[in-house]
A and B are shown apart, each in its own frame.
Chain A
Amino acid sequence: MKKATAYYLMLLLLVAGLRLPAAAQSKGQDVLIRNATVMTAVKGTMEGTDILIQNGKITKIGKGIAAPAGVKTIDATGKYVTPGIIDCHSHTMLDAINEGSLSVTSMTGTRDVLNNTDITIYRALAGGVTAANILHGSANSIGGKNTTVKFKWGHPIEDYPIADAPPGVKFALGENPKRSNSQPQPGVQPRYPQTRMGVIETDRDALIRARDYKQQWDDYRAGKTKVPPRKDLELDPLVEVIEGKRLVHAHGYRSDEHLNLMLLADEFNFKVATLQHGLEAYKIAPEIAKHGTGVSIFTDSWSYKLEAYDAIPYDAYILWKNGVVVSINSDSDERMRRLNLDAAKVEKYGGVPEQDALQMITLNPAKQLGIDKRTGSIEVGKDGDVVIWSGHPFSPYSRVETTIIEGETFFDRQLDAQHRIDMAKEREALEKLDVNRAPGSGGGPPRIPAEKRQSERDRSEFGEDDEDGGGNNR
């Protein structure tokens, strides 16, 4: 009898277990958002406006759009709609963050270790984030290749990378690559470089090697050599950097170092795409504007480490005033969910206009990542990546109601409430199964709460390195 009951439960669970997340169910649905306050991020705020998304693209914006047959309609009366938020600096959904063994690890890439079961993706969606720059960590002078993704929760991993996003690579300057915050391991030779001048030398050396390597291939292709040169996965991305085909996202805090890197880029005739962090970039704002580089910063976090000592809350404002493309990033699975409030701070400190502040978490990161043709603002022809808010997105009392990517709903507060009920029922049934019941009594050590594991991972960006990269999480 007992066995029969268990078997019946297993059958029930088979059905329950195979159920796909709600996100996947709404795939391909066209959607009409009605009567919202639309913050377009380019053409101001439009009251009582409809947005029609068809086949993943925004096809109409205006008042009183007639709903085509079969289109799902969302009444957004009294609500705000913004473009999906884009986080220009994230290490979420990664099974490894740093390959810290060598000073140059451009052969690695975050694409190989994306984890589409990471719950932080869903939580980011609940904060209105639709896309992110998934970066290698800052443990070394030149880190790995990035992946620019959209958070298509519930989809297979190959759906995440934005196919036409230009590729990028991580560079890092200062305390992290010179290992000033990490204890040398007994028996392990300290890694070169140990100083800021060593870091820039490592960069220059790698770029020279890449230039020579490119020459080898050019000679081979011109028939000057017989044996094909080695395909060097470390130098291939750096050749692309020199050729201007790969974006450099350069972690750094001190403005002298960021300036130094831009001079190095001039030497090799490429532009640095973004200065990441850049908490004292205001000191060199005209030089940055002249080089044509973007800056991606935190709006606060001043002085949390020595090289962030000169950070000021007016950094974004001064850069903006000098014509620099500025974005606000999180570099944190947790803060990623509240980037709207970080944009609000930019309005407060210095008085950046509302739309320009909104651009710093939408259109500007899209520009910096080279995806502004398809996303970052609410315009006809762009991807239907939009967020519906309960109120003004810069108010701490507002919440995300619905997050839509290419017309597909990936977060919905009402569906979420239903999921919680469903999952509680599912849990109750699953916990009764033999495999989920503890044999006998007694208690093992408590599991490390997921939040705690997460914060350990976040720290890796701030100098305490995740040398083994998380590895296999089992």
Chain B
Amino acid sequence: MRSKLLLLSVAAVCLFTAATSRAQTYAITNAKIVTVSGATIDRGTVVIRNGLIQSVGANAAIPSDAQAFDVNGSTVYPGFIDALTNLGIAAAATQQQGGRPNGGGGGGQQQAQQAAPASNSNYPAALRPETLVDDEIRAGDPSYDASRNAGITTVLTVSRSGIFNGQSAVIDLAGDSVSEMILRSPFGEHVTYTTAGFGTYPGSLMGTFSALRQMFYDAQRLQTWQKMYASDPKGIKRPEADKSLEALFPLLNRQMPIVFNANTEREIVRSLDFIKEFNLLGVIAGGQEAWKQSDRLKAMNVPVILSLNFPKRTAANAPDADPDPLELLRFRAETPKGAGRLAAAGVKFAFTSGGAAPADFFANAGKAVDGGLSRDAAIRAMTLGSAELLGIADRTGSIEPGKIANLVVIKGDVFGRDKFASHVFVDGKYFEQKEPTSNRGARGPGGGVNPGGGGGGPQLTGSYNITVEIPGQPTTGTLTLQQDGTNVTGSLNLGGSVSPVKGQATAGGFNLTSSVTFQGTSLNITLNGSLNGNNIVGNIDSPAGAVSFSGTKNP
């Protein structure tokens, strides 16, 4: 009986192993290999086995059991890293937290209860540094797809809500479970300059600083007190087991970095002042004006997770509007040059999409190159440099034998709009990519694309459930489209507000305009995106900034 059981379990293990080990050996041949850590190989082979890079070289042998991909001179890069995202966090849950209660009925209350899980913390929800993003993300979340399909294999992800956003994790964008996806957790404690909300302390930016400062002082004291008590409890009042304050111990002990979301120069200065005040390991995220403080960043050895979501004007102003302020015009012109200036000053940095669509992540890295950054440095800031900043450079970030097989094959210029990630490997798992039809033809009119005709462009007609990644308030909605030739009409329902949309079907996607009301303000927006199977991804540009959206077609 007992041996039978054993036999059964052995069989089960074998079956399981067989299922997961199927086709785990691949060879990418005939490729230009940008190893990042070493010299670029003009034509060679990368062999992947059991999730790792087995060999790399001009003459690397192709194992007999390998599935080989002749990529015809395309370029292999290490899987790209987006050094700060909110991927994997169930949009609905976050929306409940960040959203405003509508009508204040019982439903809203129920939502609030779901959003803020019971916690015995002594602090309001906005000030709970013990929160782990591990507990918030889900394996197989649809938000991973757009990034991974573009060649981003690895991201740092963290919640958006709260002053303390909680502790972030570095994850690979594939895996059947969260534990399988994690490369490093926690990475750091993230802070956003926001408030605890109306009528709650801290209710102003001024209060946010004093509340943060008080918590760090309290954590210092609790740590001292706990040590005293541990060494001899007699005659000492028992210190509290305060998990919110205890979560700050690794920060005070310089074992974990504090990551401040800071874009303007003064936010960066305030962050650096705080880092100095408590002698913390600091990181600046966003960093649009970080170049203005490059000397101090360098001196304090504070790296920057630099946003590639560059500001740009997205809509014409009304005729009677004030002209854009000069400082805003300067800001838009200067921001793409920031990376080059940080590099020249010797400040370490890694690129983040900053919420922009993956296509912009790559195209804007190209703009940073136009703005004075070397091409190699730009690639590095999306691969090995990023891995170094995130503390995973021993495992990934470059193409070296023994490292995790996070790889992407890029056809065309990696910074070009027409680039195509033909093969993506995450942890050695192969994700086949279908090249959009449009990219094969010549660009522009007469390029052989006939969206209305048989099989040329995508058929957009249908209804899509989408999530718009508004920072701090991801919002779900419905996009309904009706395609007639190249003309597209329809409606966008966002947070209950319905607005008509119209525009054109383009090669592989669509280009639409609309005017929406968001939080009481009317905004002219444009929607650009593409449809791949049932998956829709794209960007919404508005005067308030650009955000990405993604979703699926309703059957």
Check if A109 sits within 8 Å of B524, measured CB to CB. Answer: no
Grouping DSSP codes into helix (H, G, I), strand (E, B) and loop, the A interface class, with mixed when no group exceeds half, is loop
Chain B contacts with A in 264-280, Cβ cutoff 8 A? 264-267, 269-270
Check if B317 sits within 8 Å of A108, measured CB to CB. Answer: no
- Taking the closest CB of chain B, its distance from the CB of A281, in whole angstroms, is 28
CA distance A110 to B199 in the complex (A): 19
- Taking the closest CB of chain A, its distance from the CB of B292, in whole angstroms, is 10
A222 in the interface (beta carbon within 8 A):
no
| Shortest Cβ distance from A115 into B: residue | B266
Report which residue of B200, B239, B266, B370 has the largest number of chain A beta carbons within 10 angstroms of its beta carbon.
B266
Specify which chain B residues have a CB less than 8 angstroms from the CB of A423 in the assembled complex.
326
B225 in the interface (beta carbon within 8 A):
yes
Specify which chain A residues have a CB less than 8 angstroms from the CB of B249 in the assembled complex.
none
Binary per-residue interface labels of chain B (178-206) against chain A in the complex, 1 for a CB within 8 Å, 0 otherwise: 00000000000000011110111111111
Check if B333 sits within 8 Å of A13, measured CB to CB. Answer: yes
Contact of B318 among A112, A186, A226, A445 (CB under 8 A): A445
Check if B314 sits within 8 Å of A439, measured CB to CB. Answer: yes
Contact stretch, chosen from A60-68, A75-83, A93-101, A244-252: A93-101
Specify which chain B residues have a CB less than 8 angstroms from the CB of A442 in the assembled complex.
315-316, 513, 524
- Known A444-B523, A446-B318; contact A468-B218, beta-carbon cutoff 8 A: no
Binary per-residue interface labels of chain A (231-268) against chain B in the complex, 1 for a CB within 8 Å, 0 otherwise: 11100000000000000000000000000000000000
Specify which chain B residues have a CB less than 8 angstroms from the CB of A108 in the assembled complex.
202, 204, 206-207, 209-210
Specify which chain B residues have a CB less than 8 angstroms from the CB of A189 in the assembled complex.
199
Specify which chain A residues have a CB less than 8 angstroms from the CB of B324 in the assembled complex.
436, 447
Q: List 27 A-B contacts (CB under 8 A).
A: A7-B370, A10-B371, A95-B205, A102-B201, A107-B207, A107-B213, A108-B204, A113-B205, A156-B269, A228-B224, A228-B225, A233-B210, A427-B326, A430-B326, A431-B329, A435-B333, A436-B313, A436-B329, A438-B314, A439-B313, A443-B315, A445-B318, A449-B322, A468-B198, A470-B204, A471-B195, A472-B194
Specify which chain B residues have a CB less than 8 angstroms from the CB of A444 in the assembled complex.
315-318, 321, 522-524, 543
Specify which chain A residues have a CB less than 8 angstroms from the CB of B337 in the assembled complex.
14
Check if A447 sits within 8 Å of B322, measured CB to CB. Answer: yes
Binary per-residue interface labels of chain B (280-317) against chain A in the complex, 1 for a CB within 8 Å, 0 otherwise: 00000000000000000000000000000011111111
- Taking the closest CB of chain A, its distance from the CB of B216, in whole angstroms, is 10
- Taking the closest CB of chain A, its distance from the CB of B55, in whole angstroms, is 42
Contact of B317 among A100, A233, A447 (CB under 8 A): A447
A290 in the interface (beta carbon within 8 A):
no
Check if B316 sits within 8 Å of A227, measured CB to CB. Answer: no
Chain B contacts with A in 317-341, Cβ cutoff 8 A? 317-327, 329-330, 332-334, 336-337
Check if B207 sits within 8 Å of A469, measured CB to CB. Answer: yes
CA distance A101 to B205 in the complex (A): 12
- On B, residues with C-beta under 8 Å from A are 104, 193-196, 198-207, 209-211, 213-214, 217-218, 221, 224-225, 228, 235-237, 239, 263-267, 269-270, 310-327, 329-330, 332-334, 336-337, 370-371, 513, 521-524, 526, 541, 543
CA distance A101 to B541 in the complex (A): 35
Contact of B206 among A112, A116, A226, A441 (CB under 8 A): A112
Chain A contacts with B in 404-448, Cβ cutoff 8 A? 423, 426-427, 430-431, 433-447
| Shortest Cβ distance from A99 into B: residue | B207
CA distance A107 to B225 in the complex (A): 23
- Taking the closest CB of chain A, its distance from the CB of B540, in whole angstroms, is 13
A185 in the interface (beta carbon within 8 A):
yes
A371 in the interface (beta carbon within 8 A):
no
Check if B206 sits within 8 Å of A117, measured CB to CB. Answer: no
A21 in the interface (beta carbon within 8 A):
no
CA distance A10 to B335 in the complex (A): 12
Check if B326 sits within 8 Å of A426, measured CB to CB. Answer: yes
Check if A112 sits within 8 Å of B204, measured CB to CB. Answer: no
Contact of A116 among B236, B266, B311, B322 (CB under 8 A): B266
A44 in the interface (beta carbon within 8 A):
no
Check if A96 sits within 8 Å of B205, measured CB to CB. Answer: yes
- Taking the closest CB of chain A, its distance from the CB of B238, in whole angstroms, is 10
User: 5 closest Cβ contacts across the A-B interface?
Assistant: A469-B204, A446-B321, A438-B316, A101-B203, A443-B318
Check if A436 sits within 8 Å of B204, measured CB to CB. Answer: no
| Shortest Cβ distance from B336 into A: residue | A435
Report which residue of B104, B207, B320 has the largest number of chain A beta carbons within 10 angstroms of its beta carbon.
B207
| Shortest Cβ distance from A156 into B: residue | B269
CA distance A423 to B196 in the complex (A): 40
Specify which chain B residues have a CB less than 8 angstroms from the CB of A136 in the assembled complex.
206
Check if A471 sits within 8 Å of B204, measured CB to CB. Answer: yes
Check if B313 sits within 8 Å of A468, measured CB to CB. Answer: no
